[in-house]
Each structure stands twice: as structure tokens, then as C-alpha cells.
Structure 1
């Protein structure tokens, strides 16, 4: 599903570059969602939302038992000017001095979701001059597979802006996770060893043991945030954050390190024991209330997130058909 959609977006980005044009976030998102439909459900709302809080879409992964993980997402492009790579996290709307990243994190409170980014990165040829001296499973950072459409927490972006300055885009790209990998990868996830001790046993077990579906998405997006926290030279606090009603893990530490918010509480408040009402509205064909629709571009709901992935052969066959259909089309995506 998301793999096929990413292939379609990769194809579009490569074609735009071949034509000496840059792709647009909105167009890439349209292609991603329309290709993945009807396997995923989505509803579009307001187009004038971005100025208010920098957020585009709510993304919700829903397991068969109702466990749900929700992200408030802003789409971004990995951009280059010569050898300089950047992601515009600190964009400010006219007449508003708040950087977009701060508005995104604050706006996520409305939906009790984690704040995150979807990043459109182009292909390996586009990223050929990106300089990152770190590797992923032996592969240079810029040459990773499947990373053309990726995701990472807004807390990762916040850390990159605060500590890497002009190299914030490269630092955030290094932490980005291919979107199709976070819920349905081929390998088991490794344990997370948290800095904070004395965690509730259910939370400690969640971090230690392999997860699937919505739980896996939450864990994989938390992983780079936890790695950043371990590298921050401040003592973890034991105080508890304010509980979030319906959260799978309501008892969470208030430790924030150098982040602007308590990081565990922020990341895991979006992991719910039941489907939030706004996601259920989309699944059942209803329009969510105005407090949702007036502030978002839309909602994406990925059902059966814990289901086993399709066979590789069927994926490959369908991906080939997607590319053939798009190559034959003369439609102007923009």
C-alpha cells in the first residue's frame, strides 16, 4: 500500500526533476494518498489551515483491535542549493513571528497526537551531493532505499534546528524513516533502552519487545527521539506528566531533556486504546466536527495496520502497473 504509493511519488519527483522543475508538497501528497486509496481512507477539509499552525494532515494507523496511533503531520521537501541542503522548519507566515515548527508542536495538543513531518526527498541521484558521514546498515545516508517518502518526529526537527544550524536539514534527513517501513517492515524492531528508569512495566515491555501496527509506528518514531535524549547531558526527571484520557500508556514521565515538551508524553499520547472520534467519523463516512475540519487539510486513516504485508511478487507486479499507468497519462499533476 504505502510502498506502492511511495513508488508513484518517486516516479513523479524524478519526472519533475527531468523536466527541470521542483515538485510540490501538495502534489506529492495527492499522489501518495490517491495511489494508496482505497486501501487507506482519507477525507479532505480546509485548504487555508497552514498559516494558523503549520499542520497539514492527521495520519492515524488503526489496528484490528482498535489500537490507534495518530500524528499531526506537516509535509516538507528536502531542498538543495548547490551543496547546501535544507528543510524549511522555521518558516514564518506573514505577520506571525512564530516559527512553523513551534506552531505544529503546539497545534498537536488539540488532537492529543504526536507532531511529525512527512518528507519528500527525491531519488538517490537528486541527493548525490548531500554530505552526511553516517551510514545506515553499511549504506551511505543519502543512498538509502525507500527514503524518498519518509517521516520523523517534530522533536527530531526541533533538535536539528537548535543544535545543527544550517545543517539541520541533513541531520533531520539522517533520522528520517521510510514511511512504508514504520508499520510493516520485513524485520523485527530492536528494543529501545530508555534513559528514564522506573517506567511502568507495560511501557517498559512495549519498549523491549517487538511491536506491530500502530504500536510499531509509535515505537519507530520514538526511537530517534530517545537516541537524541540519551545524548543530552541532563538528568532525567521522575515527575509524571498529565495523563491523557484513553492513551494506551497514561502514566508517563515528564522528562523533557532539551526538548520543548516532555518527549515520552508527547510521542506516546497519540497511541490510543480506541479509535479517536475524528478517525471513526472518516471510517464511517461522516464529516468530523468543525473543530477538526476548520484546522486541517484532511485526515488519513490506515486500517488493519497490524495486518501481515502482501507478498513481494504481488507488490512488484502492482508497482510496475502503477508506473506504466502514470507514464501513459498526460495529466499535469500540478
Structure 2
């Protein structure tokens, strides 16, 4: 991104994503679809289907849409969350629901100098933003798409979204931990969910927990009691088959929205890709997912981490 800025180019999401996936190997493997395979019948507005694979097969699936930070005249930020009148967001949510994974935005924010003066909340920030490791890590950050529902306050405030988003590399760093939020009044949690939320997690569970906690930080500032009724997620292969029906002011229940992507074992098509990633296998997978629009599948190996 910095090289493009120096050369006077407006870098794009596709180019940056490809460079990111190439540089992140071999732990991160990408299985790209060709242009014909990407289209789908309806289009999901998504870029890549990411699966995080951990020990004993524990896996977490996310459908990721990249969002490039744009600077409007006068220095105003724009992450274009309401692109196409909100249709892109709705398509992303619909496709993630069909795939039973967590709909997620990846924020591409350019270099710290590009996004100046917005920065991390680090005290005594260095005058040169390029010297701040935390700002550099924020260059690619993840944020649950549910927070950006049309009409939500967060969706109209790119700086707030940037502050709340979690750096991608922090999510795969075993030495960084996610701080748990307090219980909410009248929110009934199963013993398994309590252990998940209030214990240190690693691998795919760590990624899932961070996305849940991002939503819970926003929810903690909203009034309204949570219902005690649980939500049935799906089959026994899901780590949490029932979850609380707690909601933000806008949107569906957030626990199922994220944690339906957390599985005790990865889907069969992920195992097929890992075992045999020849073009024919990738092509068959693309045809099998022809109801959504994808650039491909990304598999992150977090086993033993």
C-alpha cells in the first residue's frame, strides 16, 4: 500500500488481497476461483471464504468482504459500508447465512500516514505514525458485518469502525488475548459458552471470540434487556448448537450470527481442498457454491498455535 502511495497509484482491494495471501503462506493457503466461477447466481458481495483450522479439527468459517479506506476531499474518511444502497451488505449477510459462517469485513486502511490523523489510542503516540507498531498492525483489520447494518450508528462512523476493528495479525498471535466483557442482565449463558467467553482461547476459537467481543462491546452501551429464549443454530457438529437470542438495536441475534461458523470439524469441502488442491477440485467446489459469489477459499492453519 505504501509503495502504491509513493508511486501515485490508488491501490485496490483485489491487488492487496492477492499480495496478502501470497505473503502469508505457507500457513495461509488460497484456492482462487476463476472469473466465471466467481459470479454465482445472485452474487454475495463477498471476496473470500476463510476457514481457520485448529487442533483436533476445531474450525471457524468467515465470509469476508474487503473494504478500502477512501479519503474524500477535506480529509473525510469513507469506508463505503452502504455501497449500492446497502444491497452489498444484505447480500453478504444472506450468503453467510446460506454458508453458515460469520459475515465479516476486512478493513484495508493504507499506511499510517495515509489515514492520519486517525490513529490508535496508544498514549504518547510517536510523532511519526509509521513508527507505531500498533498503527501498522491496524492496516488490515477485521470487523463483524452485523455491526454495519443499514441504519446503525457504527455504519455511519468509519473512525469508530476503525477503532473497534481487530488487526488480522493479532488474531493469529497466540501471545495476545481477548479481554472478556461482563455478563449482561438476564442473559442466560450455557456452561460451555461461559467457558468460551471467560477463558483464554487460541486458534479458531480465539478468532471467533474476538468477533463476538467486538459486538458485545457495542451491545454493552445499548439499553434493552436480553431475552432468555435460546436460538437453535444447527446440527451437533456446531460447537454451540443453541445460543442466546440477544440483539443489537439493528439486526439479528449476534451470537448465532458469529458462532454458527465455529465447528468441531471443518466442512467436507475444506478437507477436500487440503487433501487435493488441483484445479479440477477447486472447479468442482466453485460449482457447488454457485449460489454465492466468491473469489475463492482461504484456509488458515492454526494447528499447534
- TM-score of the two chains, using structure 1 as the length reference: 0.79
Q: Residue in 1 aligned with 2:101?
A: 113
Structure 2 distance, partners of 1:138, 1:114, is 36
Conserved in 2, the CA contact under 8 Å of 1:60 and 1:300? Answer: yes
**Are residue 83 (structure 1) and residue 81 (structure 2) matched?**
no
Conserved in 1, the CA contact under 8 Å of 2:187 and 2:244? Answer: no
Q: Residue in 1 aligned with 2:234?
A: 244
Q: Residue in 2 aligned with 1:273?
A: 264
Cα displacement string for residues 6-63 of structure 1 (whole angstroms, at most 9, x for unaligned residues): xxxxxxx001111122101000011011122332222111333597221111111101
The 10-residue stretch of structure 1 (289-298 or 250-259) with the greater mean CA deviation from structure 2: 289-298
Q: Residue in 1 aligned with 2:46?
A: 55
Structure 1 distance, partners of 2:220, 2:165, is 18
1:88-107 alignment, distance < 5 Å: 88-92=80-84, 98-107=86-95
Structure 2 distance, partners of 1:58, 1:28, is 16
Structure 1 distance, partners of 2:246, 2:194, is 16
Between Structure 1 and Structure 2, how many residues are aligned? 286
Conserved in 2, the CA contact under 8 Å of 1:42 and 1:298? Answer: yes
SS in 2 for 1:100: helix
The Cα shift of 1:137 comes to 6.7
1:314-325 alignment, distance < 5 Å: none
| Cα separation, partners in 2 of 1:302 and 1:25, compared to 1, 3 Å | same
| Cα separation, partners in 2 of 1:35 and 1:206, compared to 1, 3 Å | same
Cα displacement string for residues 163-206 of structure 1 (whole angstroms, at most 9, x for unaligned residues): 1564x211211111110111324233322324263210010011
Structure 2 distance, partners of 1:31, 1:292, is 25
The Cα shift of 1:122 comes to 1.0
Q: Residue in 1 aligned with 2:10?
A: 22
Is there any run of 5+ residues in structure 1 with no aligned partner, and where?
1-12, 309-334
Structure 1 distance, partners of 2:274, 2:252, is 31
Determine which of 22, 29, 35 is the counterpart of 1:34: 22
Conserved in 1, the CA contact under 8 Å of 2:60 and 2:208? Answer: yes
SS in 1 for 2:200: coil
Conserved in 2, the CA contact under 8 Å of 1:42 and 1:282? Answer: no
The Cα shift of 1:289 comes to 5.8
Output the aligned Cα RMSD: 2.3
Is there any run of 5+ residues in structure 2 with no aligned partner, and where?
none
Conserved in 2, the CA contact under 8 Å of 1:85 and 1:169? Answer: yes
| Cα separation, partners in 2 of 1:110 and 1:137, compared to 1, 3 Å | farther
Q: Residue in 2 aligned with 1:235?
A: 225
Q: Residue in 2 aligned with 1:186?
A: 175
| Cα separation, partners in 2 of 1:99 and 1:71, compared to 1, 3 Å | same
The 10-residue stretch of structure 1 (192-201 or 74-83) with the greater mean CA deviation from structure 2: 192-201
Conserved in 2, the CA contact under 8 Å of 1:61 and 1:302? Answer: yes
The Cα shift of 1:293 comes to 5.2
Determine which of 255, 272, 275 is the counterpart of 1:284: 275
Determine which of 135, 144, 150 is the counterpart of 2:121: 135
The 10-residue stretch of structure 1 (278-287 or 176-185) with the greater mean CA deviation from structure 2: 278-287
SS in 2 for 1:58: strand
Conserved in 1, the CA contact under 8 Å of 2:57 and 2:266? Answer: yes
The 10-residue stretch of structure 1 (199-208 or 101-110) with the greater mean CA deviation from structure 2: 101-110
Conserved in 2, the CA contact under 8 Å of 1:278 and 1:292? Answer: no
Structure 1 distance, partners of 2:164, 2:123, is 13
